[in-house]
Amino acid sequence: MSERGAVYLIGAGPGDPGLITVRGRECLLAADVVIYDRLIDPELLNWTRPSAERIYVGKQPDRHTLSQDEINELLVQKAQAGLKVARLKGGDPFVFGRGGEEAQALAAAGLYFEVIPGITSAIAAPAYAGIPVTHREAAASFAVVTGHRRKGIEAEENPIGVDWAAIAGVDTLVFLMGVSTLPVIAQSLIDAGRDPQTPVAVIRWGTTPQQRVVAGCLADIADRAQQAGLPPPAVTVVGEVAALRAQLRWFDNRPLFGKRILVTRARSQASQLSARLRSMGAAPIEFPTIEIIPPNDWTPLEMAIERLAAYDWAIFTSVNGVQFFWQQLERTGKDSRAFAGCRLAAIGPTTAEALARRGLRADLVPAEYVAEAILAEIGSVAGKRVLLPRADIARPTLAEGLRSAGAVVDEIVAYQTVQGSGESAAHIRQQLLDGHIDVITLTTSSPVRNLVMSLAPFPPLPEHTTIACIGPVTADTARELGLPVQVVAAEHTIDGLVAALVSQFTNGEMDD
């Protein structure tokens, strides 16, 4: 490898950030500089080191941040400075990505480079639209063709520069960057002998929650796309396989497809909800309104751990409580054997699962996942010692109820919840005002309060914006703060919240 650094030409895939390759992520993590394009999902930048320099060089049809020659020179300069450069490109760098030109510039400068292939939108966008580019009964061949108008020759009869007679007989044709030239493409194929009734599908923002598909045939697809107001970026598929969408559609008919959902959980916890929402087709927008941090003083928790054998019950009200308790337990050199003789209760199956992963089985998981249910189901606690490790701002209901029943309760702060940084509060507020957020999810009372404080004055919500709460306690807090709650999960878990949203939005049929 050259001592002057290295450049990794990385294919970021077609839009869905989950489609980047393992090698691509490895190179992003190692990079000193990330030079990225317009169609890159911002989530991919989270895989870079905090110290990495990020340089946007995106191109749009009407304006370029940098010319291609300037991008080539930038890559050379950064590598010659001894830096590891991740050149993050949409799709595959060698499929109409001008990666070949960048590689030539690096080779001419004698610099080390590596090409990390990516999944091209030419096959991924059709696949996410339910269209296989090949099929044993419909297509034995396919070709990927540029649909981009060649600069400076707009007046020519063949402005794209394609040999239409040569490609007209290919079973499946996939055109990239061809929205503006769609009338030319359709007419040129018809003139070259393709049946005007050949099925066509135009796929915008393929593989993302913004995916939109316009279907038709060569004779009418240009008019249909224009009537739909379909702007770029889009992929056009021409061939009999395009008709299979009606049968094989799987992605954009998911129950929450296209819904933009605000996730207000702490950053460390948001990924679970975001992943579940994505699996249902939604576009999660993470806005952590709280942060989970250790207690100011570990001493009370350490003392509770030392006398753990003296407790009759230890009640865990959240996964966070389990995690911080266990962290300190291990620091003191103990393990699950320290709970011998102590019965365990957990509010909710997720908390119970957190205990189970550490070799502990909860003796009590109430049917309803709220503090009041513990009081109803725990039985007699008169004279019993109860350990309650939880958040600094936890509701007093459980501790007060146990004491009223005669228990000796030690409330221990296992972790603190503080207001999130709110770096993007102004942006989120504007998104709400503009109606660009469909759902606000609230999972505990703390995020509700912090959301209202972060966005103060809280914006008036459009009629279509739904507020969904994980349970009745969170919903009560939201209503007290003036938020209209439309959805309350019957099961007070992340899966229950997602199921409630699916139920809310599964009325009616989805259309193209």
**DSSP result, 118-164:** ---HHHHHHHHTT--S-BTTTBS-EEEEE-PPPTT-TTSSSTT---H
The crossing angle, in degrees rounded to 10, of helices 349-356 and 319-331 is 20
Q: Answer positive or negative: Cα dihedral of 273, 274, 277, 279.
A: negative
Long-range contacts of 68-72 (CB under 8 A, 24+ apart): 68/98, 68/101, 71/35, 71/102, 72/101, 72/102, 72/105
Label the pairing between strands 439-442 and 466-469: parallel
Q: How many residues does this entry show for the chain?
A: 512
Q: Residue 64: its pLDDT value, please? A: 63
Nearest to 420, CA basis, from 275, 277, 263, 274: 263
Question: 258 to each of 204, 286, 341, 438, 485, how far by Cα in Å?
Answer: 13, 15, 51, 9, 21
Strands of the sheet containing 343-346, edge to edge, are: 290-293, 408-419, 385-391, 313-316, 343-346
Residue 63: strand pairing partners: 60
Q: Residue 94: its pLDDT value, please? A: 96
Question: 279 to each of 44, 100, 125, 257, how far by Cα in Å?
Answer: 18, 35, 17, 9
- What are the chain's domains? 6-119 (3.40.1010.10), 123-248 (3.30.950.10), 260-289+421-504 (3.40.50.10090), 293-419 (3.40.50.10090)
Measured distance CA(395)–CA(323) in Å, rounded: 19
Q: Residue 154: its pLDDT value, please? A: 52
Q: Residue 4: its pLDDT value, please? A: 73
Q: Residue 510: its pLDDT value, please? A: 42
Catalytic residues: 37, 59, 177
Q: Residue 83: its pLDDT value, please? A: 96
Q: Residue 424: its pLDDT value, please? A: 81
Q: Residue 61: its pLDDT value, please? A: 59
Q: Residue 393: its pLDDT value, please? A: 80
Strand ranges in 136-252 using DSSP code E only, listed in sequence order: 142-146, 172-176, 199-204, 212-217, 234-238
Measured distance CA(120)–CA(11) in Å, rounded: 8
pLDDT (tens place) for every residue of the chain, 512 residues total? 445 799 999 999 999 999 999 999 999 999 999 999 988 988 899 889 999 999 999 876 555 678 999 999 999 999 999 999 999 999 999 999 899 999 999 999 999 999 999 999 999 999 999 999 999 999 999 999 998 765 655 545 677 778 999 999 999 999 998 888 999 999 999 999 999 999 999 999 999 999 999 999 999 999 999 999 998 889 999 999 999 999 999 999 999 999 999 999 877 677 789 989 999 999 999 888 878 889 999 999 999 999 999 999 999 998 999 999 999 999 989 999 999 989 999 998 989 999 999 999 999 999 887 888 899 999 999 999 999 998 888 888 899 999 999 999 999 999 988 777 656 888 899 999 999 999 999 998 888 988 998 898 888 999 899 999 999 999 999 999 999 999 999 988 899 999 999 999 986 444 44
